[in-house]
Structure formats: structure tokens, C-alpha cells
Amino acid sequence: MKESIYIIIPVHNRKQITLFCLENLQKIGDLDRYHIVIIDDGSTDGTAEAIHSQYPEATVLEGNGDLWWTGAMAVGMQYACEQGAEYLFWLNDDCIPATNTISGLVKFMRNHPDTIVAPACEVKNGNSFTRITNGAKGRKGLLAQPGEIVSVDGMSGRCVGIPSKVIQKIGLPDAVKFPHYSGDHMYVLKATRSGFKAYLVGDFTTAMYGEVYETLNLHKYFRPESTPVTTFKALFFNKKSPYRLPTQFLYLTEKYGYLEGIFLFILKFISWSWLWLGFQFGLSMKQIFGREGI
């Protein structure tokens, strides 16, 4: 009989990455030990069909393509609670937990009531692995080295263990305010402000699989075929953009308070707008003179 632990994995059109994630969970025994819940948010590449065929023990919940990260997690968390989950995990499909990571974090939560936990996150750097920031305290990004337990008030949602009593007290992540980015950090912040603790535990790890993209890379939004209006909308209003202005405004004002948040938001917007103008001007010059676009 499986433990009342639910691993929630949001996916969208990354079939091979998703299947590799499930293959790893099977290899380390977590697929048999815990409940796996996949939220397939409108994939068109056969992801759901492949999961049903190769991993029938996993539960697949279908989305309409507009759940994004936070909405998908909220759907999975609600389902897990309805099934009587004791603990649940956020897990992105490009994250590969080590053999004892999930079980170790479960044990940690049982020994430390009212605590949200995350392992150290690593990326491959040549023949070795480098630990990257996956938590924050205030404005400072943090990571945990082996043997360290680091207190945080925000976490990346790559791999996070959450007691079900957190949901009972503060509800589900806010997919309206934070549809894709910041939903993870703001949920952990809300939990810590409600009396829960949050830690990065350096003795447990998860590795990023495949190419790790730098999200704060404004340059990548510029294409030869893009007009200034198209680029502006893609940068500042698309749900998938980390620069999305409504998300940034709500994140900063809720985290730092209204006055300081607005001040920080204005500074960010001025900085990003300046970069946007610079890149846009450079792209326009290349278009005019017929050179290869950015």
C-alpha cells in the first residue's frame, strides 16, 4: 500500500522530459512508494497517452492549456487533499530527485512539524554538479550546502515538500495573481507569514535535466519578425514572461508592502524599458540595413 504522499508534476508538451522524470521516479522506487499526479495542461504531443501507456499507475489530470504552473499545481494540490494526502510535493518534470531525496524530506517534515522543505538544486557543469540558488530570505537568494539547513521565506517550485495542513490553513496558490512566475515563492512566503517554517536541506538533492534556461534574459524576446508592439506585449504582458508587469507589481507590493513595492516596481520597469528600447533600436537598425536579426 502506498504512503499518503502525493508528488504533483505539471507538464505541457515536453513528452520526453516528462517520461524521463517518471523513469527516474520508477528507478529510485518513488513511483511505487508514492502517488504520482500529473497535470497535463493541454499538451498536443501525446504526453498523456504516453503516460497512460507506460506508467498506468500515475494519475493524469487534464488541463485546458491555460493553467500554467500555478494553476496546474493548485489543481494537483486540491486533488491530493481530496485523496487524504498527508504530505505533497511540487516537482517540475525537468528535475531529477536523488534516490533518497523524497523519502528523506518526508522524514524531515515528520520530525519537524509545520515545515516546508526543499532539497539542494544542482545543474551539471562539465563532469561535476554545481548547486544553484533555489530559495530566498528577503531579497537574498540562498542555497544549501551538504550538512546545512537554511531557513528561507521563499522557494523555487522545482522540488518542494509541503504538509497538507498548510493548504488547510492558507488555501491553494493564487493562480490569478501569479499564473506562472512567482506563484511558488509567494505561496511559501504566505505560509511562513502564517506561522509555518521553510528550510532548504543540503543533504538531499535534485538535479536539473536538460538545458537550464536563464529566465531573466530579455535579449531572447527579440526576433527579426517582431514589431515593437509585439515585443513589448510578449515581454511585459505574456503569462510565460518573468517580466510580466501585473505579476511583478503584485509580487513586489505583497512582499515588501505597498510603498516600497511600488518604488521597486518603478525602478524595475524603468530598467527593463531602457533595455527594451536599446534592444529594439538595435534590431530595427539590423532590419533597415538588411543584416541578420538578433
Q: Where are the domains of the chain?
A: 5-208, 218-288
pLDDT at 222: 66
Name which CATH class applies to 5-208: alpha beta
Rounded to two decimals, the pTM is 0.90
pLDDT tens sequence across 171-199:
999 999 999 999 999 999 999 999 999 99
Angle among Cα 175, 68, 226 to the nearest 5 degrees reads 115
* DSSP secondary structure, 142-178, as one string: E---TT-EEE-SEE-TTEEEEEHHHHHHH-S--TTT-
pLDDT at 288: 46
Share of the chain above pLDDT 90, in %: 75
pLDDT tens sequence across 253-288:
999 999 999 999 999 999 888 888 877 666 554 544
In b/e form, how buried is each residue of 64-100, taking b as 16+ CB within 10 angstroms? eeebbbbbbbbbbbebbeeeebebbbbbbbbbbbbeb
